[in-house]
Structure 1
Amino acid sequence: MGRPSLPLGTHGEIRCYLIAGKKYRARTLYRDYDGKVRPVERVGSSKTKARDTLRAALRDRERAVVGDEVTRNTRMAAVATLWLRELDESSKAYRTKRTYQEAWERDLSAAVADLRVFEVTVSVATRVLRSIRDTAGTGSAKHAKVVLSGVLGLAVRHDALDSNPMREVVIGTPARDTGKGPGDKMVLTSEELVGLRRHLRTSCDASRYERQDLPDLVDMLSALGCRIGELLALDWSKFDAGRATLAIEGTVIREKGVGLKVQSHTKSSAGMRTVQIPKWAAKTLVRRSHEATTEWVFPAANGRLRDPDNTRKMLRKAVAATSWMGLHPHAFRHLVATRLDEAGLSAREIADYLGHEQVSMTQDVYMNRKSVGSSAADALADIEPEG
């Protein structure tokens, strides 16, 4: 029986030979991706240097010959580069692309970049992600898991892996005190919303919160349940006072080299929506429109676009050392969803109001996603702010 052929993209045993000038030649056979086996050799001043130089040449050869091909021996850094390129060319929102790019660079690169594809097993990935969870938080770990799953999914598509090990990875929750800490995001109830509004309007820092627009901003988040970037992207042309409707048609992002801008679409196609809002929320917007000196509904202090990240920081600072510590703008989104569910709205109506895309085929085909009736506004009518 003949010797079995080398797998594609691999080499045989490396042998070293002494040559003239007291140098050494390291030589091996490499099976290229066209199926042909070719000799590859390099020279060094010692056996070790000759072998190291040859191994480096083989790695370079794999990249040069394979191009975008991925094998089980390809380094994770190379696969991640391909995946991030695909991500950049996709239709995903700019902020999503940036989030996953940062997750790779900040949390994953140092941990897995030098590993080969086949070395990223379930246990290795679990250990890496739990380390990220414990040091950077659950949110960072979830983003890292999405990225790692995408990178290894690309490897599966290239036949470098039989299946994606990330399917079996469970991050879990860190063992810590049940009290709210700086990294814990609170769940906001209707009762807590009342206290939060009172805190922002009557505390010793109330005048500062008013200058930062936090009371009105909190009111609108609790009326709309929208994403913070969607709220800050609203200009006055999107508000129809007569009908008490808002057209949510974009989100604020920060693009590298450009700065803040309004992205002309939301996180998903379902997010492009017109909603009828509670009457009390419409009154708030009418008041603000009479006082407005800029096109934006919630501008920055200089009248320009407002930064979502800075707004989140302002909100966190406003509730530091209070029972609302850990409050995130998404808490209002969950609150609105809960209220609408309690009011008996269908999953379709709630999805339309919040701009979610989780709907059935029948609902997608036969129901109008671009406009919503008054049920959501009616359900939110009784959480009008005091005064």
Structure 2
Amino acid sequence: MARPPLPLGTPGAITTKEESAGVWVARCRFRDHDGVTRRLWKQGPSKTAARGALHQTIQDRQRGSGGGSTLTPASRFKDAAELYLAKVDRKREDSTHALYAYHLGRTVLPALGALHLRECTVARLDAFLEALGPRYAPSTRRTLRSIVSGVLQVGVLHEALPTNPVRELDRIEQPRGQAKKKPRGLTIDERQALLDWFDQTSDDDRVRRLQRVARAAELPELVRFSLGTGLRIGEALAVRRLDVNLDGVPVRAQDGPMRVPVVTIAGNVTWVKGKGLVRHDGKSEAALRVIPLPQFTADLLRERLAQPGEDRWPLFPAAARDGRITYRWPSNVRRTLRSVREEVGLGWMTPHTWRRTYATILDDEMTLTDRMKADLMGQADFLKNTYVSRGELHAGAAVLIDAALAG
């Protein structure tokens, strides 16, 4: 029976022999990545030196084989992580690269970085992710799992791993007994209370000072714009004057042709370590979209665009230290909101609450399909469980039941 071939990129048994006085030779067979088995040998002044020289030759050959592959089963996880981050930097947005680099440096590499790729077993990875349970929410642990999977997939592509062990792990679920946080938007009464607080002037000096802070940050206009468009805070702050078309695009309606004012969403602003505030073109094709403007939002923008300004300026501009017009920081909007939301009894509200409110209003509209709603939200699918608020009191239900059952 023929002897089975060596696995690609691996040596056979190493033999050593003293060829002459003080000259030792170590030999082995080595199967290169082209499938050809070759004989390797190295000599040295001792048995140990000869074997060490041959081991170094084997390692160099493993690194240099396989079409430029730089990873082997003996490579460290941190080496694969470096290649993975370089790939993310080439193919993804700066914000994604910054997030992955942050999680790698803070959580993943301290635990896995020194492991050889061949040591990244299913059991070790499962223990690592399980240990994250008390520290991180399930959504963050899923992100960390995705990063680990991406790193090890680089090892698979370099033929340093036969398969990606992350694929064998169980899904990360919500812990038993721990209720998933329900999405919450603003009810009709909450929306009205918030907008009234912005528009009115309080007799209390402290409240009046907070109202001035909110108006200086253009929070009343930004809230109305966000409620009317459902934009993420970074998208809302990235909208430029030239992205707004108040003359409208022609559409065919039941009453005949009409023009609908729209805003084109063609970017996002986010903070990136080492670069500051960066405007990018969106993370996916779904993020690039055109949104019809309700009348109250169109009126707001018409008044704003009547003020002097260049087309390329942001719709909600900020002034840089040198006087240039630039984009507002999302973190500054969140900070201002935190300082005023308690006064309206909405201590839980964030800018994303306005997006959930928009999604909830869309979900209640039966004439729109989920595909239409996803397009408006800039998503691949309409994520009801993530965005649609539940739990409002639907008083009209009592009227319907009474009409159906009353004798």
TM-score normalized by structure 1? 0.71
Structure 2 unaligned runs (5+)? 249-260, 383-407
Aligned counterparts of 2:348 and 2:27: Cα–Cα separation in 1:
61
Partner residue in 1 for 2:236: 231
How do 1:203-242 residues align onto structure 2 when only pairs under 5 Å count? 203=207, 205-242=210-247
Shift of 1:233: 1.2
Shift of 1:245: 1.8
Moved more, 157-166 or 237-246: 157-166
Query: Is 1:188 matched with 2:185?
Result: yes
Partner residue in 1 for 2:263: 246
Which amino acid in the other structure matches residue 362 of structure 2? Answer: L
Aligned length: 352
Partner residue in 1 for 2:400: none
Aligned counterparts of 2:301 and 2:147: Cα–Cα separation in 1:
40
Structure 1 unaligned runs (5+)? 360-387
Which of 371, 377, 384 is the equivalent residue of 1:348?
Answer: 371
The change in CA–CA distance for 1:278 and 1:74 in structure 2 (over 3 A counts) is: same
Aligned counterparts of 1:21 and 1:314: Cα–Cα separation in 2:
83
Shift of 1:249: 1.5
Partner residue in 2 for 1:102: 102
TM-score normalized by structure 2? 0.68
Larger Cα Rg: Structure 1 or Structure 2?
A: 2
Q: Deviations for 1:82-128, whole angstroms, at most 9, x for unmatched residues? A: 433333333x4332333334333333222223334444344433333
Please tell me whether the aligned partners of residues 17 and 47 of structure 2 are also in contact (alpha carbons under 8 angstroms). no
Partner residue in 2 for 1:128: 128
The change in CA–CA distance for 1:187 and 1:153 in structure 2 (over 3 A counts) is: farther
Query: How large is the Cα RMSD of the aligned pairs?
Result: 4.3
Greater per-residue strand proportion: 2
How do 1:135-150 residues align onto structure 2 when only pairs under 5 Å count? 135-150=135-150
Q: Deviations for 1:110-156, whole angstroms, at most 9, x for unmatched residues? A: 22233344443444333333444543544432322222233334445
Q: Deviations for 1:160-182, whole angstroms, at most 9, x for unmatched residues? A: 33465336332334689879xxx
Please tell me whether the aligned partners of residues 185 and 360 of structure 2 are also in contact (alpha carbons under 8 angstroms). no
The change in CA–CA distance for 1:162 and 1:255 in structure 2 (over 3 A counts) is: closer
Partner residue in 2 for 1:165: 166
Partner residue in 2 for 1:274: 290
Moved more, 273-282 or 166-175: 166-175
How do 1:255-266 residues align onto structure 2 when only pairs under 5 Å count? 259-263=276-280, 265-266=281-282
Please tell me whether the aligned partners of residues 122 and 165 of structure 2 are also in contact (alpha carbons under 8 angstroms). no
Shift of 1:350: 0.7
Aligned counterparts of 2:144 and 2:340: Cα–Cα separation in 1:
29
Shift of 1:11: 3.0
Aligned counterparts of 1:242 and 1:236: Cα–Cα separation in 2:
13
The change in CA–CA distance for 1:21 and 1:29 in structure 2 (over 3 A counts) is: same
Which amino acid in the other structure matches residue 265 of structure 2? Answer: I
Q: Deviations for 1:332-387, whole angstroms, at most 9, x for unmatched residues? A: 3333222201122211221221122349xxxxxxxxxxxxxxxxxxxxxxxxxxxx
Partner residue in 1 for 2:77: 76
The change in CA–CA distance for 1:323 and 1:155 in structure 2 (over 3 A counts) is: farther
Partner residue in 1 for 2:380: 357
